[in-house]
């Protein structure tokens, strides 16, 4: 099965750039999320962490 896929992938011209592009997109996304997490204020993190535990008017619709 792997030989079948490997053969067809190698027959596509310029296919070797796609793994590099995928890695760069993943790495940039990871860096942006990491920077956002470290720059977010502690109060905001505490507020977001308590959201699932709060009983509010928006969560009380039991239909």
**Which residues, 6 or more positions from 15, have their beta carbon under 8 angstroms from its beta carbon?**
9
Sole residue written with tokens 């030989």: 3
d(CA 37, CA 21): 24
pLDDT in tens, 8-34: 777 888 888 888 999 999 999 999 999
| C-alpha angle 24-28-29 in degrees, rounded to nearest 5 | 115
| C-alpha angle 12-17-18 in degrees, rounded to nearest 5 | 80
pLDDT in tens, 29-54: 999 999 999 999 999 888 888 888 87
SS3 30: helix
- Quick check: pTM over 0.85? no
């Amino acid at each position: 099965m792997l030989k079948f896929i490997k053969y067809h992938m190698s027959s596509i011209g310029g296919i070797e750039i796609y793994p590099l592009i995928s890695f760069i997109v993943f790495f940039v996304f990871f860096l942006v999320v990491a920077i956002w997490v470290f720059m977010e204020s502690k109060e905001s993190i505490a507020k977001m962490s308590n959201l699932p535990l709060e009983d509010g008017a928006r969560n009380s619709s039991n239909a």
